[in-house]
Structure 1
Amino acid sequence: MNTSLTVARRAALRARVASSAAARIRCYANPANTTVAPTSPAPMTAAEPVDDDPQLADYPRLPFVSKQTRPARGWEDLQFRRNFGEPLHEQEEVLSMWGPDVPVVPPQTALRWFSIAVLGFVSFGVLCNVAHPEIPAVRREYPFGGLVNELGGLEQNKARVENDSEADE
């Protein structure tokens, strides 16, 4: 008895969930639940500039918003985050899921963080260059004019020349 009651409840729950999901999708695609011709223009806001492109004719002017900003669920086509029959933007290749990634951080903030990181590295390098102590040993010097003959006889191969002024004293 409990199993048939449980099965009936599950079936009713599935039907409710399916109908609410379909209604939600239908409401998103067509909020007024009326038939609209696919070529009817979408309402424009005052902030969007009106561009009179003669090639678009009656095609709807859609907002320039990437589909990556849409929620991941609630679409008929989950991969492209769109409903079937939804008009495409004229620059769909840029605004689709496969277009350039939408930055998570605003460009001004990213530039500030990058500048702080570069400044940190540069200041660390300057600090290391200024704060290093003198070498506590005398650098090695070589006799016979910097071993010119021993290193092949070329002036370019010469090692450090021995300082003769200290030897005279």
Structure 2
Amino acid sequence: MYKIKVNENHTFDITKETMEKLDVVETSANKFHILQDHTSIKAEILNADFNQKMYAIKVNNNIYHVDIYDALDQQIEALGFEIGASKQVNDIKAPMPGLILEINVKEGQDVKENDPLLILEAMKMENVINSPRDGVIKSIQVKQGETVDKNSLLIEFEA
């Protein structure tokens, strides 16, 4: 059983059997055609961080941020421990190319986990980039109105 969290708002469970029953065809690298309930769906994996189990997926031109929790992650969470790797993030990189609409922090500022750091517009959607952990902002590498490429360094935390 996998627990899936989409855009930090929606959580649902998926079994391995459900995944195996999906009618999915990979049309090219990281691009898929899905047929569900006689409806055609196009999906593309824009960004994949396998170690942190975090993905940016475009489905029919909408971008979703997806976190996947396997059985071990769920047991760790149930015990009240933090999930290790995700709390060690020291820099924030652009998950996709886009335009910096707003920067909500300053260098030297203390932030808490899930505080909004900046807003990145990509494909006419505003994506709020939240802090992955508590920390202090070491540097901000972008300016409001600047266009960034995928994986561009946006913000660094003090270690």
TM-score bin, normalised by smaller chain: under 0.3
TM-score of the superposed pair, with normalisation by structure 2: 0.21
TM-score of the superposed pair, with normalisation by structure 1: 0.20
Task: Considering fraction of residues, name the structure with more helix.
Answer: 1
Structure of greater relative contact order (alpha carbons < 8 Å, 6+ residues apart): 2
